[in-house]
Amino acid sequence: MSERALRGTRLGATSYETDRGIDLAPRQTVEYACRNGHRFEMPFSVEAEIPPEWECRSCGVTALLVNGEGPEEKTTKPARTHWDMLMERRTLEELEEVLAERLAVLRSGAMNIAVHPRDNRKSA
């Protein structure tokens, strides 16, 4: 009889074990809601730390915990601009001095500014 019980089934494809006689870990059900109006419940262990957000089962948008604290806001540093990096290296007085030197060089004509190569091709 036991030979016939396995006939016609793929061995290893299905489990013949049952949940009878097994004590599951204590669980709690937590409800989440997304901004598109979908609400769903997720089971967690009583000992587990409950995440404040979870991916919505229906639309994939981030859903927030119902009647819970929102996610912690992450502190982000503002983007550093070129001006910020320049001011880390020099003071305003130093920059004004460098600007005055460069303007004096340009006005004196000491800096030989060649005509751009593309401009030569146009005139030829």
Q: Which residues line the annotated binding site for Zn(2+)? A: 34, 38, 56, 59
CA-wise closest residue to 39 among 61, 15, 8: 61
Length of the chain: 124
Tokens representing 85 are 């990096």
Which residues 6+ apart lie within 8 Å of 39 measured at CB? 31, 32, 33, 66
**Annotated binding-site positions:** 34, 38, 56, 59
Sheet hosting strand 27-33, strand order edge to edge: 39-45, 27-33, 62-65, 53-55
